[in-house]
Every structure is written in C-alpha cells, then in structure tokens.
Chain A
C-alpha cells in the first residue's frame, strides 16, 4: 500500500483481556518497528523486525507483550492480560532496509484498558 496501515485505530478493552494490534507495512519494506506512546509521554521502542535476522525484542516491557511478523510483511503485536498501564497509542513503522534511519510511521492504534 501507499503507507503503513494499522488496525484497529481504536480499541477499548477490559483489564485482563488479550488484544491484538495489526500493522501492514509499506510493500517492499524489509524492516518493521513497534513503538508505543503513553499520554503526554515520548515514544518508547518496543520491538524491531530486521529482515531475516532475529528480531530485537529489547524494548518489550514484559512477557505479556509479543509480536510476530508473518511472511516478512504483516505484523501483529499481542498484549496478554492487559493492564491499565498498557493504555497508550501503539505505533508501527517500516523502512526500506534494515538499519535505516528514515522510517514511515502509521497513524497508530489507540488502546484503552478499563
């Protein structure tokens, strides 16, 4: 597609439920990134899929968070047993090559945990 697509744009869930957030990167982009941004805060790196190499998961805040990237394209970020502090905007980005510093971001998925 022309840009990075994320869905859902908004998700409200109850504490303890699992959620899945989807990212469809720009076609042909080999690298994919997940960040999150809590209200009024900066961008926090979560995970980085770098082509065929093992993903950099160093930013995942707990083992409740996981992500997959199937077929080198679409990625799903899964949060299990959601907590209120997980409420944030989850942003996905992609870049043409791994290690690139020019990223294209999606509009984000706003997660609210009640």
Chain B
C-alpha cells in the first residue's frame, strides 16, 4: 500500500466546509484512495473512495489531483457529529490478500 501523510489534527467551524488533505506521492496507477472515519467509541465507518475522478456521495466529496499524488476529502457542511478521526488509505482495489490497515489519521474537531 502506498504511504499516506495526513495532518495530525484540524479544526473546523460548524456549518463550514471541512477540507481534509492527504498526500500519497508514491501512489501506483492501480491504487485507489479510500477514506474512513472513526467517531469516538465507535468502529470505523467507510466514507468514500476513488481512483482518479472526483467522487461524491451523500456523506462527502473526494477530490483527487490530476497527478494523483494528493487528495482532499470535503465535508460540505460540517456538523458537531462529524468530529472524528479521518483515515486516508491508499491501496489496490478489491483484490488484496491482506486486510486493510489504518494509520493514525487526522483528528477533526468541529467547533460550535
């Protein structure tokens, strides 16, 4: 899996967009970018993933740069319930023989 770098922590005001960056400069052509989050005292929750095109679902948007060396997860209108640790994971699509592994992620604190 390609190495990822995320800021340790970020703050965001409630109602504003939260933009969480992830650097993955060694990403390979067949590796996807996955995002999960873990709200305190809960199991991780899958958010979104993408290969090269920008993706959007009901939870978030994923913007991947043209060179694919970095990406940004966007929560368009952050709420207090979005306070969580956000994990960016880069790996080959659904053919892995190893289980998913999680780094240390970004701790997002949404402020009232």
Chains A and B come from one and the same complex: yes
| A56 and B43 form a contact (CB under 8 A) | no
How many residues of chain B have a CB within 8 Å of chain A? Answer: 24
Taken together as a complex, chains A and B put the C-alpha atoms of A107 and B39 apart, in Å, by 11
| B99 and A45 form a contact (CB under 8 A) | yes
Q: Tell me how far the C-beta of B31 lies from the nearest C-beta in chain A, rounded to whole angstroms.
A: 10
Taken together as a complex, chains A and B put the C-alpha atoms of A56 and B94 apart, in Å, by 16
Cβ contacts B96-108/A at 8 Å (1 or 0 each): 1111111111000
Q: Does B44 contact A (CB under 8 A)?
A: yes
Known: A105-B44, A105-B45, A107-B42. A50 touches B97 (CB 8 A): yes
| B94 and A43 form a contact (CB under 8 A) | no
| B102 and A43 form a contact (CB under 8 A) | yes
- CB within 8 Å of A: which residues of B? 32, 34, 38, 42-46, 49, 89, 91, 93-105
Summarize B's interface: helix, strand, loop or mixed.
loop
| A104 and B46 form a contact (CB under 8 A) | yes
Taken together as a complex, chains A and B put the C-alpha atoms of A48 and B99 apart, in Å, by 6
| B43 and A99 form a contact (CB under 8 A) | no
Residues of B within 8 A of A56 (CB): 97-99
Q: Does A1 contact B (CB under 8 A)?
A: no
8 Å CB contacts to B: which residues of A75-106?
91, 93, 97, 99-106
Closest A residue by C-beta to B102 = A43
Interface range, A side: 20 to 34
| A99 and B97 form a contact (CB under 8 A) | yes
| A105 and B43 form a contact (CB under 8 A) | yes
Q: Does A33 contact B (CB under 8 A)?
A: yes
| A-B CB contact pairs (8 Å), 17 listed | A4-B43, A43-B101, A91-B43, A93-B43, A99-B94, A99-B96, A99-B97, A100-B94, A101-B34, A101-B49, A101-B93, A101-B94, A101-B96, A102-B49, A102-B94, A104-B46, A108-B42
6 smallest CB-CB distances across A and B, nearest first, come from A105-B43, A48-B99, A43-B102, A99-B96, A100-B94, A91-B43
